[in-house]
């Protein structure tokens, strides 16, 4: 019996901290309006940290410093955007290496509704809730982040 090649996509995301706030991304891709954490797909030849640093440069043209691993998916999640692929998502906490040099909006979905649109917002850690995020994997990562912060207090 021939084994089927696994159909996975590895995604790497960050909870980026800026002045006791978390940077979140509102995006419109493939006719889906979403709120998520910054990050994206790992390419062949990359490690997770290099992937996340590259994604930061691509998304907001700034470098980040990765603080620590936060969460790796521990449940089955099929991709909504990439047909027929299971998502393995790895999350880190991080911070910018400099003050933000990109636009940070005060309102959700601050863009023209066209494919590839993105805007960034800051949410105070105290107001962060898992249900603010579109995807279950981001919700679980944020829940983990909130719980870890409670344990450190």
Average pLDDT value for residue range 72-76:
93
pLDDT at 6 over 70: no
pLDDT at 110: 92
Its sign, for the CA torsion 120, 44, 86, 79, is positive
pTM of the model: 0.91
Task: Report the top-level CATH class of 8-152.
Answer: alpha beta
Average pLDDT value for residue range 82-103:
92
Percent of the chain that is helix, strand, coil (3-state, to 5)? 25, 40, 40
Q: Hey, where are the domains in the chain?
A: 8-152
Interior angle at CA 42, CA 39 and CA 47, nearest 5? 105
């Amino acid at each position: 019996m021939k084994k089927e090649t696994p159909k996975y996509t590895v995604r790497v995301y960050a909870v980026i901290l800026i002045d006791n706030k978390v940077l979140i991304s509102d995006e419109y891709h493939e006719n889906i309006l979403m709120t998520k954490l910054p990050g994206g797909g790992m390419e062949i030849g990359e490690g997770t940290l290099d992937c996340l640093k590259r994604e930061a440069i691509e998304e907001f043209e700034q470098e980040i410093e990765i603080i620590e691993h936060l969460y790796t998916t521990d449940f089955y999640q099929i991709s909504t955007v990439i047909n027929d692929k299971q998502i393995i998502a790895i999350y880190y906490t991080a911070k910018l290496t400099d003050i933000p040099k990109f636009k940070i909006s005060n309102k959700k979905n601050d863009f023209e509704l066209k494919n590839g649109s993105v805007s960034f917002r800051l949410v105070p850690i105290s107001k962060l809730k898992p249900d603010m995020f579109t995807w279950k994997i981001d919700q679980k990562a944020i829940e983990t982040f909130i719980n870890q912060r409670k344990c450190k207090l």
